[in-house]
Amino acid sequence: MSPKKIHGAVAALSALALLTACTPAGSDPDATRDGAKTAEAEASAAAEPVFRIGSVSEAEAAQATEQGSSAKASNSTASATPTSTQTSAPQQTGEVAESGAETTAAPGERISLSVENAALSDISITESDHPRIKTDPGVFFDTAGSELEAADSTEDAKAGSSTPSESASEDSDAITAPDDAAAWMSAYDLVADSTYELSATATSADGEEVDFRSTVTVSAGDASPMAVRTILSDDQTVGVGAPIILTFGSTVAKKYRDDVEHRLSVKVTDNDGKKRKVEGSWAWLPDDPQSRLHFRPKEFWPAHSKVSVDVPLKNVPTTDDTVGQNDLTLDFDIGRKQVVKADAKTHRMVVTRDGKEVMNFPASLGAAKSPSYNGTHVVMSKASDYTMTSEQWDYETDVRWAVRIHNNGEFIHAAPWSTGVQGSANVSHGCINLSTARAKQYYDSAIFGDPVEITGSNATLSTAASDISDWVYEWDDWKKMSALPTS
């Protein structure tokens, strides 16, 4: 792809230099200078901002960014070494468009916008049917085609933000352009059968601000659908350690994971609808074999909250040949903060609810040869009657009031056969053993997502041993599994 199409640069800015350099032969120097100043003023006054809009393919966008980065490095070297060759200003690209113009694009392409006789001040692009999607930060270029460092953007454009954009028309949702920005290119692929609203403001040399608006319509595609699902249900009440879990019908290609993730939003409010700021991040867990995308907050969810999740993935590329089959929304509740702390050394299981102790039971944890695992587990499921089997330990046992806390075989359950040592010794195969009455009391209180923290053992949870190992990861390691850049 040529520099003409890539950067959307402004060749007209060189006209001013040409005007000031012209001096008619035989004229009075002062008069010439005055004439040049007059010509410069007239040219400046006559130069109105001109916007150009176009689209580029994914490959062309990658090439544009690569060349823009190279030009940036070249200019940086040139500023330190005067004899270095400067990058020349690229030519105009795209179609000249008036504000309010409509344009078309193909699925998978990206939008480019440039302005002549002015500098971009801010820009935003919003999908009309999904205004909660984070604003696309895009990439800015100067008149020489060099990629510019992004100015501070809204929190919504950062990975891990739990606060979605409410409307692209609000100034707070616009991405602030860096100084000397003359062109912009979107960072994410356009979605088939969608409509986007593009908004920009440019500032002319005399300080006048000019607004630009355009509607971009994307044609339909023919890729095969890939389903996306969640294990939670609308109106479900969960514990403060419950992750948001999305599962896909197949494997999402790594190069499309940022396109998927940047569209997702998580909104947290109290029970009266007042917004709560919660730091959190999506993370792509190892494929099993389908792709899994989880969201967890940095700390446990605030108790007694409402969570609204928007997953608009219909027609979003997931591989070269597939797209999301469906949009998905989810609204669930965070209940009371109930946390279990089980200690293999003290042989006690203590349950607190909203900071108050509600149970303190003698327990028996895993024996030395089959230990319970230190770390934060979460309640995954429960059954009043359950048959426990183990090939490793060669047993099959029916138990009552079984609460699963990990996929490695750890449960909290009734074990009447060990009541004589509960509170004094660890004899189980990794489970937390309670008396039947105490197990029933805890069972009745447990809900999906309640944290269960085990300490005092000689073994520790790994991140590979469960469908829900979210709390085993350190926060910085969790954020690194996002497909979006962290900040």
CA distance 96 to 462: 57
CA distance 60 to 66: 10
| Cβ within 8 Å of residue 23, ≥6 positions away | 32, 36
Q: Do residues 367 and 457 make contact, with C-beta atoms less than 8 angstroms apart? A: no
Instruction: Pick the catalytic residue from 130, 377, 429, 431.
Output: 431
User: Concatenated DSSP letters for 370-402?
Assistant: S---BEEEE--EEEEEEEEEETTTTEEEEEEEE
CA distance 113 to 468: 43
- Pick from 427, 164, 175, 367: which is nearest to 280 by CA? 164
Q: Do residues 182 and 114 make contact, with C-beta atoms less than 8 angstroms apart? A: yes
- Pick from 297, 298, 235: which is nearest to 267 by CA? 297
Q: What are residue 116's DSSP bridge partners?
A: 50
CA distance 158 to 92: 31
Strand 327-334 with 237-238, pairing = parallel
Instruction: Pick the catalytic residue from 7, 294, 406, 413.
Output: 413
CA distance 49 to 398: 78
7 is catalytic: no
CA distance 165 to 154: 9
Q: Do residues 277 and 371 make contact, with C-beta atoms less than 8 angstroms apart? A: no
Half-sphere exposure of 32 (CA within 13 A, CB side): 11
Starting from the edge strand earliest in sequence, which strands make up the sheet with 118-127, in order? Answer: 101-105, 209-218, 195-204, 118-127, 175-176
Task: Provide the 8-state DSSP code for 30.
Answer: H
430 torsion bin: left (phi>0), alpha (psi -120 to 50), beta (else): left
CA distance 201 to 113: 11
- Total residues belonging to the chain: 487
Sign of the torsion formed by the C-alpha atoms of 57, 486, 310 and 127: negative
413 is catalytic: yes
- Pick from 301, 442, 452: which is nearest to 376 by CA? 452
Cβ burial 25-57 (10 Å sphere, 16+ → b, else e): eeeeeeeeeeebeeeeeebeeebebbbbbbbbe
The angle at the Cα of 196, spanning 195 to 198, to the nearest 5 degrees, equals 150
What are the tokens at 352?
């607190």
Residues that are catalytic: 413, 431
